[in-house]
Amino acid sequence: AQKITQTQPGMFVQEKEAVTLDCTYDTSDPSYGLFWYKQPSSGEMIFLIYQGSYDQQNATEGRYSLNFQKARKSANLVISASQLGDSAMYFCAMNPREDNYGQNFVFGPGTRLSVLP
Binding stretches for another protein (CB under 8 A) = 29, 31-33, 35, 37, 42-47, 50, 52-53, 91, 95-103, 105, 107-110
How far is C-alpha 96 from the chain's CA centre?
A: 15
Residue 30 CB, nearest approach to another protein (Å): 9
Angle at 110 between CA 94 and CA 87, to 5 degrees: 120
Pick 78 or 89: Cβ nearer another protein:
89
Pick 86 or 96: Cβ nearer another protein:
96
Please give the Cα distance from 99 to 101 (Å, whole number): 7
Residue 62 CB, nearest approach to another protein (Å): 15
Please give the Cα distance from 53 to 70 (Å, whole number): 7
Pick 79 or 92: Cβ nearer another protein:
92
Reduced to 3 states (helix: H, G, I; strand: E, B; else coil), residue 85 is helix
Residue 39 CB, nearest approach to another protein (Å): 9
Residue 115 CB, nearest approach to another protein (Å): 19
Q: Which residues pair with 35 in a beta bridge?
A: 50, 93
